[in-house]
Every structure is written in structure tokens, then in C-alpha cells.
Amino acid sequence: MSHYTRPLKFLSYLGWCILGVLGQVLDGQKQPVPLDTERLQDGETYFYQPENTGDIFKYAIDLAVINPRSEYNSSQSTAKNPDFLANLLQRDGACLFTGINIGLNGTHIIPHSKGDDCLKLIVEDRPYDDVEVDLTSLDDIRNGMLTINPINTIFDTRQAVVIKSSKTPNHILDTDDVAPRCGRELEEDTSYPSDARYTFQYLQQENRKSNLRIMPDNNDAAFPTTPSITLPKPAAFLLNYNFGAAAVRLWGKNKMVFENREEIQRPKIRVSNMAPKRTPGKENRERFVTKRRKLDEQGGQGEVGPSRAPQDAQNTATTQEWDEDDIMLFFWGNTKAARERRERKEQNIKESVKKWRSTVAAE
């Protein structure tokens, strides 16, 4: 809580990032508490009560669809786009949080290993409409920041986050709700944004202690002031999603509520088969036969091809452990904004088909 001047606002922001809906913070007696309180009550339990949630299990993201997509996209995404780092160098110039200009890495907000389809789901199921909607690639500059090691590794494994707070309404946090930034000397051609803060924060104490000399905690990003550089900054809704996912990963409890759920209605997610094709050469055939033989000797079932068949994924999805992205996509996909967006999309498809049929019938 030391990262925030108003800790109850932080709890409200945390609930909003995970669930995707505004709500109230309640005390142990389930009574609303003012968010401008500067200290938490010792021994008090707080709850986040969302507004107008409805039946949260009415729709759900189907893990049997998400997981196979993630599998083959991860294999596609091993070769990163070289333009990603080049674009970040042009926009950021140096590490955003230290000003160091050697040993730089292009850090992805949504980890590159998740694949572009995961990003597509995040964009399609965003819980609000006042954000960018044309993000299609994880190598988009809005999904990146220029940093140094080991910050790149810590951030990629969600042991640290970047919080965007803004003077203009961002639903929850204003710039003064985040604790004062760690002071550092800036280069002459860089400055902190005047309308927002991008604040790096450690989530685990051990990482904070071991890397504090390299990367101070509660450190704000500084961007070049060159007028000709107008490339877009990191997308706020991706930072919000990543913060929610990191919180679920580190602090989430009772995931069995999702894993042991009863059969529920799920949204229709259209999946195109974009799995990478492999040439069935002699070496691949021998590797396949060897793996198949080992599985037969063990008397078990397993994945032997580049991606699991849809029916196999359907049979195993209910026993797979939910990770933080499964949970985040479940909550974001069930927000009112996401459901209405899917319904509009399906309605548009129906109208297009109807128009096409009427045109064909008239010919």
C-alpha cells in the first residue's frame, strides 16, 4: 500500500482492473467507505462490490478455444518483429525509467509468448469503449516500453507492473493518488508527461530489494521532448489488464471456483485455423513415432502433433488449471460493454447475410 496516497482508491482500482466494472469498496460490515481516506483501519476486511454485474456466469470464455489458439500462436511468435525495437528506440530513446541507453530491450506489456490471438481477445472484450481498437499485433508500439535488464525479465513474468494515472478522468486513479515518484536526474531532451504518470512498481519485496540499485521503486517514465516524435505511448487499457493479471497471479485465491464450475453457456468465438504447418519430413516422422511409442508404453494419452485437436482440447479443458489470463478474460468478457459489443457484431453479421440472401434471390 506504500505505493499509494489513498489506499482505498488503490483497492477500487484493483477491483476495476480485474473485473472490468466500477464498484464500491465496502468495509467488514458491508458498508461503503470513502475512497479519500489516507489510511486503512487495522484488522479491517474490505470488499469490492461491482455495480450491475448481473449473472456473471451467463457467458464465459471457453478455455477449449483459448488454449489451442495460444499454443500455436506461441510457436508462431518466437521470431519477434525487428521493427518493434526500432520503433521503441525512436519513441523512447533510452530506458524509460532509468535513462540508460545501453543494453536495451523491447519489453511487451502483454507478454509476447501469449500470441496475437490473446491480444485480440483482450481488445474485443475490453470493458470500456474509450480506448484504442485497432491493436492487432503484440509488436505494436502501444504494447511496448524500452527498458533494461533485468527489468525486462521481471516485467515479463508479471513480478512488476506499470500503473498509468492521469489528470483527466481514468475512472479511478489521479496522478496524486500514486505516491510521489522516485527522484532522478533527467536528460535535457526528456521530461515527464504533463498529463499522466507511467509508474513502475515492484509487486514482490524480494525483487524490489535485489534490483533497487538498478531500478528504483515507484519510478516514473520520462519520454523524449523532440517535437517530431509523435508516436503513441503505451496503451492504458493494456497496462490495466496486465496489472489485473499480475494481481491475480500473485494474490489470487480459490481458483477452483472456476476450474470446478458447472456447465455454463459460453459465447461464440470464431476460430480460424492458423496453426503453423510442418513439413512431414523423415526427421519429423521419426520424432513423431518415437514420441507416440513412449506414450503407448506409458499407457497414457498426450499431445503428439503441433496442436491438440479441438475434441481433445474439449475433453481436457475442464481439468486444466486456470491461469491469470483465463480468469482476466473470463471477467472482462462478461462485462456489459463486452457482451453488447459481441451482440452488435453478431447482429451485423446476421444483417449482412440477410442482405446477401435477398440480393441473390433478386437475381
**What is the sign of the dihedral through the CA atoms of 108, 157, 128 and 330?**
positive
What is the average per-residue pLDDT within 46-59?
69
Q: Are 60 and 330 in contact (CB under 8 A)?
A: yes
Confidence of residue 205 (pLDDT cuts 50, 70, 90): confident
Q: Are 325 and 114 in contact (CB under 8 A)?
A: yes
**Rg (the chain; Cα; Å):** 23
For residue 14, pLDDT over 60 is answered with: yes
Q: Are 146 and 101 in contact (CB under 8 A)?
A: no
Helix axes 324-333, 116-124, angle to 10 degrees: 30
What is the average per-residue pLDDT within 245-269?
70
Q: Tell which residue, 222, 317, 216, has the closest CA to residue 261.
A: 317
Q: Which residues contact 169 (CB under 8 A, 6 or more apart)?
A: none
CA 121 from centre of chain: 10
Helix axes 236-251, 324-333, angle to 10 degrees: 130
Q: What pLDDT is attached to residue 267?
A: 39
- In angstroms, the CA 118 to CA 324 distance is 12
In tens, the pLDDT along 125-179 reads: 898 876 667 888 999 999 999 999 878 888 888 999 999 998 665 678 899 999 9
Q: What pLDDT is attached to residue 318?
A: 42
More confident residue, 70 or 196: 196
Q: Tell which residue, 108, 40, 338, has the closest CA to residue 245.
A: 108
What predicted TM-score, i.e. pTM, was given to this entire model?
0.77
Q: Are 32 and 55 in contact (CB under 8 A)?
A: no
